[in-house]
Every structure is written in structure tokens, then in C-alpha cells.
Amino acid sequence: MEKLQKALGKARKQRGDVTSDASGRKASDTLKGGVLLPVPPVWDELTPFEPNLDVLMHNRVMTLNAQAVPNPFDILRTKVFLLMRQNGWKRVAITSPTKSCGKTTTACNLAVGFSRQRENRTMLFDVDLRRPGVAKVLGHKPQHGIKSLLTGDVTPQEQMLRLRTNVALSMAHNPVSDPTQLLLAQQTSEVLDDIQTEFTPDIMIFDLPPMLVTDDARAFLKNVDCALIVARAEQTRMSELDICEREVGEHTNVLGVVLNNCRHVADEEQYYGEYS
């Protein structure tokens, strides 16, 4: 545990400040001349989604409502938002070295937490197509899965759901047996570009598969500006984290590393750990 924390600290020092945009994409500002831009009307066309609070809490999604004590995920949300805005980034992938590190829980908490920031528009996409988890964590199975969206069989208005007024959710319906071809496809990149142009989100969050399990994440990382890596205390090996971070860095910017399930903090803060 202590060795893993030291390794994270060393990695942060080696990376230094991240300022480049691996994708070359230029992000437009939400504020222009100090005036908040209006929400595009297409957001009103998305089907509203009312989550069950008991289901969310059971699945450790704790960011739907503000709490008297700052939620660790809210702290993470703020850090992610500020770093991405500082670098002009819009798209962030959430991945991990191996399975069961908590990446989907992290992605869902970030997206749900952003729903409380009404001035910002956020989108969450479940791109872990072999083992999709967002629908289960949020307690809803969509009529159309994200595969149909990426192949152009349905429109965003037909596939995506809207949480409150400012968060769009694109969940998977069923697992996809061989998603690598879909994730590599130029059409997938074009669909995401079209969605970004039409909905003008401030942040697009992508829940990716673990880096060291399949090649799916590598196939998709070209579509994002940065990636957040979730490691699990007492499970993730330093060698796995090192390989994961190096491979992510070959395809996009490493936004930071979250140490999940850390026993060195209180139970209610166990998802918050070393972050850079």
C-alpha cells in the first residue's frame, strides 16, 4: 500500500505539468465575454431520467445531492473540471489497469455530481462494451444501446437520457462480443464529433475497459483529450499501474491517478486517494 502511494507520487513528479493536447482538438469556451451561453435546445429533446436514490446509494453513487461534509467524489470532480478547463480539454476517459478497480463507479459519480453544476453540460458514455456497467450502476436499462448510437442506427435524441437539465447519459444495452472494430471505426469518431458539435458539452466522460485486459481501450483513446486512471489499493500492483500509465500516455494525456478503496482514510472517503 505504502509502496503504491510512493509510486504515484513519483509518477506525478516525472509527468510534471500537463499542457499539451494529444488530440490536437481545440475546445470552445462555455463563457464568452463573461456571458454564459444558452443551453442548445437539443438537450430538451432527450428523455428525462429520474434515478432511484436507493439504487444509487447501494451502488456507491453518492453525488446526486449535496452533503454537509464534502464528498470525496465532489473534490475529485472539481479537480478534474479545473485541470481540463486549464488545458482546454473536453473529453476524458476513465480507465484502470485491471478489472474491479472502481472506474465505472468513479465515472458515474463524476457525471451525477456534475448534474448539480447547472452552468456546465456533461455527457457520460459507456464504452466498456464487453462488460458495460453504467446502466447497472445507475439502475436503468436503455431501449437502445450505445452501439446503435455509434453505428448511426439511432440518433442521440433516441438513445441518450437526460439527468436533470445538463447531463446526458449514453448507456449500453447488451454486451458486444467484439467491440474493437467499432471502437476503431472512423464512423465512431465522426459520430462523437457530431454529438459534440450539436450538444456543445463542457465535458464528455467515457467509461473505458481496463487497459491491461483487452485492446479495446487502446482502440478508443485516440478519441479523447486525456485519461484518468483508477487503481485499487491492496489489489493493483505497481508494475500494472506503471504499464497502464505508460500505455495511456502513448495515446493521450494522463490527467491523473485515483487510488480507490484506500484504508488509510475514513470509510466514507475510501474512494479518494492519491490524485495528480
Domain with 201, as residue range(s), is: 47-262
CB 7 within 8 A of CB 1: no
Per-residue pLDDT tens digits for 60-109: 999 999 988 878 999 999 999 999 999 999 999 999 999 999 999 999 99
What is the pTM assigned to this prediction?
0.84
Q: Residue 3 domain-assigned? A: no
Predicted local distance difference test score (pLDDT) of residue 11: 52
Q: Residue 14 domain-assigned? A: no
Radius of gyration in angstroms for the set of CA atoms belonging to the chain, rounded to a whole number: 17
By percentage, how much of the chain surpasses pLDDT 70? 81
CA distance 229 to 265: 20
Q: Residue 15 domain-assigned? A: no
Helical segments of the chain, H only: 2-15, 53-58, 72-87, 103-114, 134-138, 146-150, 156-159, 180-184, 186-199, 216-220, 238-251
Q: Residue 254 domain-assigned? A: yes
Band of pLDDT at residue 273, cut at 50, 70 and 90: very low
CA distance 205 to 192: 12
Q: Residue 209 domain-assigned? A: yes
Predicted local distance difference test score (pLDDT) of residue 69: 80
Q: Residue 23 domain-assigned? A: no
- Mean pLDDT in residue range 229-235: 93
- Mean pLDDT in residue range 252-273: 72
CA distance 226 to 205: 10
Number of domains in the chain: 1
**Highest mean pLDDT: which of 25-29, 68-72, 81-85, 266-270?**
81-85
Predicted local distance difference test score (pLDDT) of residue 67: 85
CB 170 within 8 A of CB 124: yes
Per-residue pLDDT tens digits for 96-154: 999 999 999 999 999 999 999 999 999 999 999 999 999 999 999 999 999 999 999 99
Q: What is the DSSP letter of 209?
A: P
Q: Residue 36 domain-assigned? A: no
